[in-house]
Structure 1
Amino acid sequence: MKKNSSLLILLLSAVLGSTAAKAQTDPHFSQYYAYPLWLNPGLTGAIDGDYRVTGIYRNQWNNINNGFATPGVSADMTTSKNINLGVNLLNQSAAGGAYNYLNGYVSVAYTGVRFGKEGNHRLSIGISGGVINRKFNPSKFQSGAQWDAVTNSLNLNIPMTDVLAKNSAMAFDAGAGVMYFDATPGKKVNVFAGFSAFHLTQPSDPFISGGEDQKLPVRYTLHGGAKINLSETVSLTPNLLYMKQGAAEEKMAGAYVQLRATESTDFLVGGNYRFKDALSPYVGVYHKNMVLGVSYDVNTSDLSKVAGNANSFEISLTFTGRKSVKTDAVPFVCPRL
């Protein structure tokens, strides 16, 4: 009962945060750099190849009655006209289906803005459009109103008094973003930075009754970093992320080291720290055209006092279809952070 009640409180705080607890309403990822179309539509087609397919899965707070499960998949491709195309699908469920968040959209990015001596400084501008659907299943909720003081136990026959005004809502959703990166080959340091905004249409948030017109807040994201080539076989990539949605903020900082093991295999080791929330160590392997990454969030906030072992696990897999012909010095064209 304690874990179920804890999850209900956390769930409502998370998904109704714009109206109830001022908490972030969107899913988040520690490996945000491995899920580019969710991070920034300006990253659509920012690859050294013809196409890219990415899958990611996050299991959050599984110790608390199934917690949050969030799979996502995206695919994007380049064209010869400086127009890149992509599609992204994300689905989050919680508490065994008590809540579901589905967001699907297509994205388009223009990559023809290039400057510098040889045009290696690049600017990519992207937009996205699709649908967002959020759904509650009240039959799976357990609340304090169902606590029977006579038997001192939970009685599911007692109706919930805190019924939602609406159980589901679907709406058009739009986003935009811009990405800058230095693709100069052979440099010691290649810098990259981006800005994106999702939910620009601010879909209605009709779940809490009261007559006040509630909106899903815009999610703003600033992200950036640099790839530092320490040697021919070792590079260091520090990264930063700042995300704001309504009154909620998320700040992350970290880095990973890329070590070349063989001609076709690199190892990745590093981690991120989400301020006042979690430490997330990361390991990965880059083999030929595939990148596999695994991270584990160790909670450092007061949440663990409420929910016990509130840690999270995340895994990502990216496949890139390479161009048939590559130059001797391949430009740094795909910022992973």
Structure 2
Amino acid sequence: MKINSTLYTLLFILGLGCFIPSELSAQDPHFSQFYSSPLQMNPALTGVFPGEYRFTANYRTQNYAVLGNQAYKSIAASFESRRPVGRDDYYSVGVAVLRDQVGESQFSQSRAVLSGSYLKQVGSGRSRGSGQFLIGGAQLGVAQWSYDWNELWFSEQFDVTDNRNPFINFAASNGEALSAMETDIFMEFNAGVLYYNVIDEDNSFYLGGAIHHLTEPNVSFLDDQSEKLYRRWVGQAGGQISLTREASLLPAVALMGQGPSFLGIGGLNLRYSNRDWREVAIRAGLWGRVAKQGESGMGLDAMVVSAILEVERWQFGLSYDVTVSDLSSANNSRGAFELSMIYVHPSKERFKVICPKF
């Protein structure tokens, strides 16, 4: 009965994604292994892990087949630590950084935030190692956008004096009113909530959401103009469904909207564990990503295959995006390559922290 109950609950939560408006292709960088980049997804995920502290690192390169060395590159890292409040509640603090760069102009987004959360137990379970928790989290930090317009050329610099040998004259004026190559440093403020229910050691589900760029900061490169950065909302759900003592399913979905853009990714990992005191586990998964694709509207953008190795305190992830949209004719379906690494240091507390698997 526990397995069926968990399955029905997860199907209901994941089905909520069908009712999210599809009028909203995310402008912020994103990771296909969203379940392995917690602080980039939701501040409320700060401290949600079964240990004393956690270090996470992510790397993604996208569209190398089209852009070559100028392809999208995203690097993120975070560190969190958790402390108890009484016996069942916890507070957590951490720091997260991100840098994303693309194109010949070396356009980049850089940000660093302090992250904090409070984890409150709102219900106990019937078995040991079970319970329900509600977490609220927030992030505060700084960010900046930059580019190098000296690496670009404009039509005014196209010299056709010699029709047989036209060339780009980088010494000529580009005719553009360009001065600043970076925005002012602006504040980042993000907030989120998360609820999860650990039914037993092998069955759980969670549901959460967050809003990023709450203050809609000005990201204009021109001093006398304003260009607001759209707020980005995030919705996520998932859990664990036990199949046998060694095998379980880890379904999840993440939805993101930012201004007119929308992106959604969902699927599952199949996890197999040796159930030893020195646990080793492997995961293999398949995911689908949908996005708004210009005037053609919503469509399937990519299929993502993933593989994860868990060795005691370490988790290593590898995934590859196979493009299935119209872009596949240009990049031969070679989309993105992604790596993740998570290290969780075990807690010295007598009672193990109750957390779901992501």
**What is the distance in 2 between the residues matched to 1:164 and 1:278?**
36
Report the counterpart of residue 181 of structure 1 in structure 2. 196
**What is the distance in 2 between the residues matched to 1:230 and 1:163?**
62
TM-score (norm 2): 0.80
Does the 8 A contact of 1:200 with 1:218 survive in 2?
Answer: yes
Q: What is the CA-CA distance between 1:180 and the residue it aligns to?
A: 0.8
Does the 8 A contact of 1:184 with 1:331 survive in 2?
Answer: no
Unaligned runs of 5+ in 2: 1-23, 291-299
2:44 aligned with 1:42, yes or no?
A: yes
Does the 8 A contact of 1:233 with 1:259 survive in 2?
Answer: yes
**What is the distance in 2 between the residues matched to 1:80 and 1:56?**
28
Q: What is the CA-CA distance between 1:207 and the residue it aligns to?
A: 3.0
Q: What is the CA-CA distance between 1:325 and the residue it aligns to?
A: 5.4
Does the 8 A contact of 1:253 with 1:272 survive in 2?
Answer: yes
Over the aligned positions, Cα root-mean-square deviation in angstroms equals 2.5
Does the 8 A contact of 1:45 with 1:77 survive in 2?
Answer: yes
What percent of counterpart residues are identical? 24
Q: What is the CA-CA distance between 1:195 and the residue it aligns to?
A: 0.1
Q: What is the CA-CA distance between 1:133 and the residue it aligns to?
A: 0.8
2:263 aligned with 1:250, yes or no?
A: yes
Matched residue SS, 2:84: coil
Unaligned runs of 5+ in 1: 1-21
TM-score (norm 1): 0.84
Worse overlay, 77-86 or 150-159: 150-159
**What is the distance in 2 between the residues matched to 1:55 and 1:136?**
24
Report the counterpart of residue 289 of structure 1 in structure 2. 313
Change (3 A) 1:227 1:172: same
Does the 8 A contact of 2:246 with 2:275 survive in 1?
Answer: no
Report the counterpart of residue 80 of structure 1 in structure 2. 84
**What is the distance in 1 between the residues matched to 2:205 and 2:148?**
46
Does the 8 A contact of 2:61 with 2:337 survive in 1?
Answer: yes
Change (3 A) 1:23 1:260: closer
**What is the distance in 2 between the residues matched to 1:193 and 1:55?**
23
Does the 8 A contact of 2:240 with 2:249 survive in 1?
Answer: yes
**What is the distance in 2 between the residues matched to 1:274 and 1:23?**
10
Report the counterpart of residue 106 of structure 1 in structure 2. 114
Report the counterpart of residue 260 of structure 1 in structure 2. 273
Larger CA Rg, structure 1 vs 2: 2
Report the counterpart of residue 7 of structure 1 in structure 2. none
Does the 8 A contact of 2:324 with 2:333 survive in 1?
Answer: no
2:221 aligned with 1:207, yes or no?
A: yes
Matched residue SS, 1:37: helix
Does the 8 A contact of 2:189 with 2:213 survive in 1?
Answer: yes
Matched residue SS, 1:25: coil
> Deviation string for 1:235-282 (max 9, x for gaps)?
101111110011000011110011114622101100221112211100
The structure 2 residue matched to 1:26, chosen from 25, 28, 49, is 28
